Amino acid sequence: MLTKVSSLRPVLRRLSILLVVLTAASLGAATPPGPLLHKPAPAFVRTDLHGRRISLRAERGKVVLLNFWATWCAPCQEELPRFAAWQARYGPQGFQVIAVSMDDSKTPVRTLVHKLRLDLPVVMGDARLGTRYGGVLGFPVTFLIDRQGIVVSRLEGATDLDALDQQIRSLLARH
């Protein structure tokens, strides 16, 4: 019985997140701007899937796209390859993508990263990190952070990638 209950935890977690998102949507709740907008992004240090130390503070001076996602999220799977392409294209100009998987286990994350051929840092997140970023309840949630470490955008759900690309290019043009 214990095995059956523990195997249901990820499903129950996903259902509870979905319930919160659907409840907010049914109440007509607009996406709040978030307490971090125009404030310093909370620093963190994590180890990526390759064992490298990833520190947000170390990326100061770069434009950072910080993306909270999950393997079971369809919009996330659509965005991640584009983020990887931006990393390749804009990286030399001072751009860095950090993908934060909110999955419970690294195994499905590694599988999806390999399948999508993502060449960018992927770290494992948790509820504590999500809370530090104003509560990450649904996926994807993407933060755009300027060269000074200030959060300039919080985007929830499927994003207009062309508009985000324009915003990134605008931030990269500023020195």
Q: Give the CA radius of gyration of the chain.
A: 16
pLDDT at site 7? 58
Q: How far apart are the two ends of the chain, measured CA to CA in Å?
A: 59
97 burial via Cβ count (<10 Å: 0-12, 13-18, 19+): buried
Q: What is the pLDDT of residues 7-56, one digit of tens each?
A: 555 544 454 443 333 333 333 333 444 689 999 999 999 999 999 999 99
Burial of 130 (0-12, 13-18, 19+ CB in 10 A): middle
- Of the candidate CATH numbers 3.40.50.20, 3.90.550.10, 3.40.30.10, 3.90.650.10, the domain formed by 31-173 belongs to 3.40.30.10
**Domain limits of the chain?**
31-173
Please report where in the chains the tokens 């100009």 appear, as a residue.
93
Mean pLDDT to the nearest integer, 125-138: 92
Flag whether the pTM goes above 0.75.
yes
* Beta-sheet pairing, 45-47 with 95-101: unpaired
Q: Which of 4-13, 68-77, 123-132 has the lowest mean pLDDT?
A: 4-13
Residue 103 DSSP symbol = -
What's the half-sphere exposure (Cβ side, CA atoms, 13 Å) at 114?
8
> Cα separation of 160 and 106, whole Å?
28
d(CA 53, CA 73): 26
